């Protein structure tokens, strides 16, 4: 079984919250997902979008193992007005504290039609923002956020819209479907 789930903002990618983390946080257990499925990969607590869940360990391995190089596509709202050199740096790969990234597809896109985020991204009249579409074939911890920061474009909002052939299309936050 494979499930496509639209993970809302501020939800953990696990079914229980660890002890000692302060106030209880929302988890996958809050969304009526089928029993026996587990996330194939992760999506940060403060990121939104497509999360695949499965009860098939071999499939989970194929989806998450870096050797299989699954494409992951994100829509990223960044602070600032991206310049050609910044986009070129993302495409070439940037050097992070844990080493250089692989080249990524990166392009400026019009603001996508998305659900409202609660709380909303803070609007600053004097600071421009823009949307990028970034596609990676690796998946380091907080990689997209670290890459955009490295080129001077801090991430304001991050939504994963696709993993390989699976897409978020039609799912609202907290909704899921068989994939």
Active site residues: 44
Q: Which neighbouring-strand residues pair with 107?
A: 133
In sequence order, the 6+-apart residues with CB closer than 8 A to the CB of 170 are 177
Q: Within 10 Å of residue 62's Cβ, how many Cβ atoms?
A: 15
Q: Return d(Cα 6, Cα 19) in angstroms, integer.
A: 25
- Answer whether 52's CB lies under 8 Å from 40's CB: yes
Q: Return d(Cα 145, Cα 76) in angstroms, integer.
A: 9
């Amino acid at each position: 079984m494979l499930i496509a789930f639209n993970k809302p903002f501020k939800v953990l990618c696990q079914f229980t919250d660890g002890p000692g983390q302060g106030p209880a946080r929302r988890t996958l257990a809050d969304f009526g997902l089928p029993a026996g499925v587990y996330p194939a990969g992760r999506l940060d607590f403060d990121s939104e979008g497509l999360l695949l869940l499965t009860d098939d360990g071999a499939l989970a391995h194929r989806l998450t193992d870096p050797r299989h190089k699954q494409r992951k596509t994100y829509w990223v709202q960044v602070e600032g007005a991206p310049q050609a050199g910044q986009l070129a740096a993302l495409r070439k790969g940037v050097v992070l504290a844990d080493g250089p990234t692989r080249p990524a597809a990166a392009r400026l896109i019009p603001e996508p039609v998305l659900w409202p985020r609660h709380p909303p991204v803070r609007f600053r009249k004097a600071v421009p923002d823009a949307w990028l579409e970034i596609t990676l074939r690796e998946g380091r911890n907080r990689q997209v956020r670290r890459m955009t920061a490295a080129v001077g474009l801090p991430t304001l909002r991050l939504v994963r819209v696709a993993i390989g052939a699976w897409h978020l299309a039609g799912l609202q936050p907290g909704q899921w479907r068989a994939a």
